[in-house]
Amino acid sequence: MDAATRIEAPLSLPASWYSDPALWQRERQAIYGTSWNLIARADQLETPGSYVAHVVAGWPVFVLRGRDGALRAFHNVCRHRASPIVEDGQGRCEVLRCRYHGWVYDQDGTLRRTPGFGADIDLAEFGLIPIRVESWRSLVFVCLDRKAPPLALWLGSLTERAAGYPLERMKFHRMMVIDLGVNWKTYGDNYAEGYHVPTVHPALNRAIRMDTYEVECAVAEGVQVHRAAAAGGGTSGLWLWKFPGLFFNIYDWGMSVVRLEPLDHLRSQLVYWYLFTDDSPETRARRDEMMTWSLTIVEEDKQICREVQRNLDAGIYDTGRLSPVLETGVIQFQDWVRGRLASAGD
Ligand code: FES
Ligand SMILES: [Fe+2]
């Protein structure tokens, strides 16, 4: 290649960024703290009093369907001495009674009673701390940033790109939580390229035509689209990603809606919801088979990511070069990380 046509290969993020607890605290505020975070499906919050509680990038929060039909979300933190109000997971409650000393809150978060407390406090001063909640189609999101754009705007072109998929009609099949045991960006880098498919994923490599694999980045929106055509007897693949951690993996047989959730600087998890249009008993075995096929791919990614994380932490590697042809998604992902940290006053 002569000098005129020489293409630069950008540098990857330094290895230290994948294990630095202080950097994680900054990412938590600047990236996950300013994004909308998927927390529930609409079917989990249909009846009044139903709630979903979850820890979003280190913030325990919950969403509740009120008796008035409205969805409300709060930090899951009692204003007395910080106990959780509801248990993590999905449930129902008539009253919001703190599990520690029994303070009672209304469904709108107002502190109502402080049984046995023995002193006068201003109830109005100690309501639950509200956070934003919005729905898009059958999915419910929360956001900790009061200045973030509304959910539909934040999702950007993901909404049009997913328009053809009957999310509302799709039936929830199963949830899987996969403990990755790596920094969230180690998995992000991995998701951002198909370069490793032939070497890491033999079954996926047989199912799709890698010669058609393409990546499109809608930079300003934080959206990446990966797609590949079906190989004979296989499935096409469409992977939609909204930065930082929302993925729609769409195959001919159904889809998974996935969250990449950082737990701390060295741990993250994937929460998979498998959705199918057909939930008849006759096709159950087929759905299980497809889910197993998908989980094999996840397991292969987890394995390679753990080994990469070990080596990033070993102190021998600092940074590498990214392919401007096959790793455009990685380059973009890492730019988004840098950009968010910079715009948060890095
Ligand atoms: S911490 Fe909630 S009542 Fe004490
Ligand atoms: Fe992979």
What is the rounded average pLDDT for all residues in the chain? Answer: 95
At 2 the pLDDT is 58
Is residue 78 in contact with ligand 1, taking CB distance under 6 Å?
Answer: yes
Task: Note the pLDDT of residue 175.
Answer: 96
Could you tell me the distance, in angstroms and rounded to a whole number, from the CA of residue 261 to the centre of ligand 1? 28
Interval 163-174 mean pLDDT: 91
pLDDT of amino acid 344: 87
Angle at 185 between CA 241 and CA 36, to 5 degrees: 45
Q: What is the 3-state secondary structure (H, E, C) of 129-190?
A: CEEEEEEECCEEEEECCCCCCCHHHHHCCHHHHCCCCCCCCCEEEEEEEEECCCCHHHHHHH
Which ligand lies nearest to the CA atom of residue 82 in the structure?
1
Atom of ligand 1 nearest to the CA of 81: 1
The confidence score (pLDDT) of residue 7 equals: 80
Comparing 7-11, 18-22, 50-54, 239-243, which segment has the lowest mean pLDDT?
7-11
Interval 35-56 mean pLDDT: 97
The candidate with the shortest Cα–Cα distance to 181, out of 99, 270, 92, is 270
| Ligand 1 pocket residue status of 128, Cβ below 6 Å | no
| pLDDT level of residue 261 (50, 70, 90 thresholds) | very high
Cα separation of 143 and 35, whole Å?
6
63's enclosing H/E stretch is strand 59-65
Report the alpha-carbon distance of residue 107 to residue 93 in Å, rounded. 10
Q: Which atom of ligand 1 is nearest to the CA of 82?
A: 1
pLDDT tens string 287-334: 999 999 999 999 999 999 999 999 999 999 999 999 999 999 999 999
Ligand nearest to the CA of 194: 2
Of the listed ligands, the closest to the CA of 192 is 2
pLDDT of residue 4: 62
CA–centroid distance, residue 35 to ligand 1 (Å):
29
Burial of 81 (0-12, 13-18, 19+ CB in 10 A): exposed
Q: Where are the alpha helices (DSSP H) in the chain?
A: 21-30, 151-155, 158-161, 184-191, 197-200, 202-207, 284-313, 328-343
Evaluate if residue 346 carries a pLDDT over 60: no
With 80 as the cut, is the pLDDT of residue 3 above it? no
Q: Which ligand 1 atom sits closest to the C-alpha of 85? A: 2
Which of 75, 76, 83, 121 maximizes ligand 1 atoms within 8 Å of its Cβ, making it the mutation to test the pocket? Answer: 83
Distance CA 1, CA 57 (A): 45
Domains delineated in the chain: 36-144 (2.102.10.10), 160-343 (3.90.380.10)
- Measuring from atom 3 of ligand 1, which residue has the nearest CA? 101
Share of the chain above pLDDT 70, in %: 98
Q: What pLDDT score does 162 carry?
A: 92
Ligand 1 pocket residue status of 173, Cβ below 6 Å: no
pLDDT of residue 129: 98
Distance between CA atoms of residues 282 and 67, nearest Å: 38
Cα(103) to ligand 1 centroid in Å equals: 6
- The predicted-structure confidence for 69-113, as pLDDT tens digits, reads as follows 999 999 999 999 999 999 999 999 989 999 999 999 999 999 999
The reply to whether ligand 1 has any atom less than 6 angstroms from the CB of 101 is yes
